[in-house]
Structure 1
Amino acid sequence: MILWFLKDRKFYVKEAVKKLTKAIKWRKDFNVAELTEEAVKDVAQTGKAYVHDFLDIYGRPVLMVVASKHFPEAQDPKDDERLCVFLVEKALSMLPTGKEQMVVIVDLRGFGTENADLKYLTFLFDVFYYYYPKRLGEVLFVDAPFVFKPIWQIAKPLLKSYASLVAFGWI
């Protein structure tokens, strides 16, 4: 675990330790060790996100997100957060020897304004930036509708260099 933080901070030990300490505290406060399939069963049954059974062609676990099934007004944001962290942990547990990153594929078919959730996007950024650094290899947005463009324009500057991990594709 410490290697992720060292790489993220370009082996500047003081900064890596600071970030790692924050992550350890967060893991304890968030009860990451207690997240189980049973604990996230209800929100997982929505089909909004899951870890694919197979690795991608580069040997990375694939976390699939179906954005049209995310309704922030109808769902408890804490349940969504727990599902996210559970799935990240599950994907990381599938990493083959020598691999360190996962890929996230976000299916945006059917995405509308009712699915937009900037608060959750902020949570996702924090998760990958602060608590799982260097674990996200690529994010693929599939079939992004016109309504997604302004959301991306707001989110992109917040991602800084991480925005380079994002690619768009169409089926």
Structure 2
Amino acid sequence: MSIRFSSTIVAASVNFKSSKNLNINRSRNCRFSVRSCVSESQHAHKLVLEVKERLAKDCTSLPLGKYGRDDEDMILWFLKDRRFSVDEAIGKLTKAIKWRHEFKVDELSEDSIKAATDTGKAYVHGFLDVKGRPVVIVAPAKHIPGLLDPIEDEKLCVFLLEKALSKLPAGQHKILGIFDLRGFGSQNADLKFLTFLFDVFYYYYPSRLDEVLFVDAPFIFQPIWQFTKPLVKQYASLVTSIPYCYVFMHRF
């Protein structure tokens, strides 16, 4: 006696086998992905310990503790910035730790920067943006080079960065910078401070700046920016120019 299978039963059988194979492949890929992540994490931790040991051996004068030569979170961040090159990370990390100590970053406070704060030229926004990033807002039109001692402006810059980073939510590691360029004029241009700002983000707070928005940049700002772009190198790619109305409609 011959038995005929309907096309529906055959198709169902094929679909079941395909689904089963797909689930098996997904399971294999998941296991491979987990093993890969564990392996990468172990390798990263090994490099962190290597950097930590070398700093302990060769840089005994560097401070310990948070943001010191034994701060594993800081070491890992600089390793990531240098694509896990131990030598490059050590060079950059040593420079950053020395700078923090000499600049006395941990001693900065609202009172110590009051003169610069009162100008209203920069502040940390009270809310995170739509991507969950802390926001530093800068109003260059309120900056008059020479009005204050340059060190006061530098202290304000570093204090606000520290404040913004302290507001990072879990899973977020970078901040947004908004430059409100309305009213900007040639009298507000400050190449010396801009050089300091670049050093801060490149050497001392690497990979912390996620995006920069230039808001309502006037015509006079364009040649200044074109002159500046080569100086800030890869950070120029983080910049987007937008109108003022767009900021609070789409960014908060």
TM value normalised by structure 1: 0.98
* Structure 2 unaligned regions, length at least 5: 1-73, 245-252
Secondary structure class of the residue paired with 1:19:
helix
Aligned twin of 2:198: 125
For residues 165 and 16 of structure 1, the distance between their equivalents in structure 2, rounded to whole angstroms, comes to 23
1:1-171 equivalences in 2 (<5 Å): 1-171=74-244
The sequence identity of aligned pairs, in percent, is 66
Q: Which is higher, the Rg of structure 1 or of structure 2?
A: 2
For residues 212 and 75 of structure 2, the distance between their equivalents in structure 1, rounded to whole angstroms, comes to 24
How far apart are residue 39 of structure 1 and its match?
Answer: 0.6
Secondary structure class of the residue paired with 1:43:
helix
How far apart are residue 13 of structure 1 and its match?
Answer: 1.1
Alignment deviations for residues 92-144 of structure 1 (CA, whole Å, 9 cap, x no partner): 00000111000000000000011000000000000000000010000101011
Structure number having the greater helix percentage: 2
The CA RMSD over aligned residues, in Å, is 0.8
CA contact (8 A) 1:4 1:135 kept: no
Alignment deviations for residues 51-70 of structure 1 (CA, whole Å, 9 cap, x no partner): 00000100000000011100
Higher relative contact order (CA 8 A, sep 6+): 1
User: 1:49 is matched by which residue type in structure 2?
Assistant: A
For residues 73 and 17 of structure 1, the distance between their equivalents in structure 2, rounded to whole angstroms, comes to 36
